[in-house]
Structure 1
Amino acid sequence: MLLGVKAVIAKSFERIHRSNLVGMGIVPLCFKSGEDADTIGLTGHERFTIDLPSNINEIRPGQDVTVQTDTGKSFTCTVRFDTEVELAYFNHGGILPYVIRQLTNQ
């Protein structure tokens, strides 16, 4: 993982940037329409808990999850895994561990 980053929350992602996050094993999350850090009242100093299913088989592309902050705020985001392949990459910790596991299993 990139310096301990496990998820990124944004208003939107360009396809390549979202794909790169998934490739590094980082969860891309989007604020719901009309929401952003300012409207929710986030400062950037919070710690977040993301209610993402621990079983990878329960995560679906585009599903909504609840995000809670250590300051008591709670809001909904959309998980931006757009394909089952991206879920597989995430399940393995990113594209590199995925490819290595595929090669060692041949």
Structure 2
Amino acid sequence: MNDNPFYQYHVFFCTNVREDGSRPSCGKCGAFDAQQHAKKRVKELGLNGAGKVRINKAGCLDRCEEGPVVVVYPQGTWYTYVDTDDIDEIIDSHLLKGEVVDRLKI
């Protein structure tokens, strides 16, 4: 078993859409657009190469009431966000500098 992660950072955006309205839904809070923005920005910064950063969509991550949510592995750091400025801050601080964005952490 290899203890080294394949990516330096593997980022998952919950994009789940819950139609029944029983709980909040990240997919109804702009999550897909936020994920696409992050993917494009990481590529522009040249962070998307092998072993670096991977941005993925995910189904329900079960933190619906705190959403929209994104989680960064291998650390398992959970964030919420409002807009692309927040996404950029996560990229600039966490993915580029390795610094957790405390104000967005959940």
Give TM-score scaled by structure 1 length.
0.24
Rg (Cα) greater in structure: 1
Give TM-score scaled by structure 2 length.
0.24
